[in-house]
Structure 1
């Protein structure tokens, strides 16, 4: 016969003293050092908090490139760029800039097309935030947000592999190609289920700007040549 003070089944709720567990968690939090030679292909282990903090410190306080930061921390260059972009970490003023952070005035047509999906997605999130904060439901604004989200998905899905970036001077033929490219993009979006009459003006402006070639800088005047 069991003792009356001994329970037959172990309780599901266990009380743990946090003062005892805290030093152990703090010791495990930093984790092991980076894997030498890079992480193995297909590795699913998460990076430690210490590694993320080191990458952020190098991004914000050093002039190293993403590749150099990856060699120092054992994190791939793509992961470093994704952390910096998603976390909004500011870069050092004298550090080289990534291609996706180049100002719009300096960006070429191919780079604008690469950034079009991200900008459309941000515009859709902005529309959703406005609808969420508004106590009244605006059906027209909701339909516009849905169309922008469809445009963002179709843009990212149909982008494919990037080609070779080349010079895109603004000439008459470029304007013809620009209008043709805009019409082709609108046809593809209508085929993908986007209602063209419901596209907001901001999304249409982003689409037109992405297919517009950059301004061509005038050639620099050369001075008189010196005779030897």
Structure 2
């Protein structure tokens, strides 16, 4: 997918100043006619990726078919699947709490159990949090 483009001198960006209209026109042409990533376009034009992204959103520039999908690594796919699973578990837990709340014959124990399931689902949904409250040092000491 690497397209050989002729090397052209890149203008040096000046902090706090808008990019030249010619540079933005080149960015737009590359966005709308190529399948190059924002990173590749930024490298070619000297316009930062964040600026490219902002202009694409604000200007309504449309990428060619197939250029939008960026392949995820195996780790990225695993994280995405885990996130979707966490969302589903969280929705199911919220639904369980709602059902128990609306059930007139529900006991306080059933409500407490539903709330615990919801708390566990919310903990699963938080990124970067440990699943266990026991620290590694305490596990090693106990083992």
TM-score scaled by length of structure 2: 0.46
- Whichever structure has more helix as a proportion of its residues is 2
TM-score scaled by length of structure 1: 0.30
Structure of higher CA gyration radius: 1
